[in-house]
Amino acid sequence: MSKTKIVDVGGVSVGGKRPLVLIAGPCVIESREGCLEIAGKLVRLAKTQKISLIFKASYDKANRSSVRSYRGPGLERGLEILAEVKSRYGVPVLTDIHSVEEAARAAKVVDIIQIPAFLCRQTDLVVAAGNTGIPINVKKAQFMAPGDMRNVIQKIESTGNQKIILTERGVSFGYNNLVADMRSLLIMREFGYPVIFDATHSVQRPGGAGDRSCGDGCWAPALARAAVATGCDGVFIETHVKPEEALSDKDNTIAFSAMGQLWRTLRKIDDVVRLA
């Protein structure tokens, strides 16, 4: 397994030969109370199991299937809630941005900015994120080959920012379906930056329910195990206390109650891979 650069995200080291990192949280901020609840549960789990954790949540899901779909509290309120998560629990925070104007504002609060898969080819957005100087996690678009991410990397590097992480989240496999190609993890790792596997979005079925996306969350743990065995620096998992009640991505979200056992398994696999 090739060695990658180490990117520091609010005190969590991602890449190199560092232990596997967990990026986890709800798909979208549903409420202040709900966000703080799941963040607290994840932080306590991380402490008991010695997990390197980055908390994630979106303040706006700007790419929903339907105009009626819940999007989130918006930029201002969402950043306030994420700032509270960060100050209360001392955990690094990740959120995604969707416009150039959001980049600098989000960077004042979060430890790492995420570029959504659908937007990773938007040059102005990617460059604006790079100009913040903070770490950037770029999700590879479902329609892109892993080798195409070299161009995205160069856009960020043009700003002088080399705090880059790449995420694989599946590739389009016909209509309303995705497939996870584990070769992508190895190909993107050759660029020298840490690579994350997004287990829950890789089992999504975009637009599969007509006015919303659905998915096969039951397969996410298996794909996560395969990704860690293949070689990655972290796993991205959307989790919820009651997935069936989640306002976004409920079909592919993993129940928090299953997170402990899943992570113990992933860590054992990671230990073996890192000795190879």
pLDDT in tens, 124-153: 999 999 999 999 999 999 999 999 999 999
Residues 6+ apart with CB under 8 A from 79: 59, 95, 105, 106, 108, 109, 110
Q: What are the tens digits of pLDDT across the range 90-111?
A: 999 999 999 999 999 999 999 9
Q: Give the confidence band of 2 by pLDDT, cuts at 50, 70, 90.
A: low
Q: What are the tens digits of pLDDT across the range 195-219?
A: 999 999 999 998 888 888 898 999 9
CATH class held by domain 19-275:
alpha beta
Q: Where are the domains of the chain?
A: 19-275
| Confidence (pLDDT) at 124 | 98
Q: Once rounded to an integer, what is the mean pLDDT over residues 221-248? A: 97
- Percent of the chain surpassing pLDDT 90: 90
Q: What are the tens digits of pLDDT across the range 178-198?
A: 999 999 999 999 999 999 999
Asked if 217 and 228 touch (Cβ cutoff 8 Å), the reply is: no
pLDDT at 246 over 70: yes
Q: The whole model's pTM is what? A: 0.96
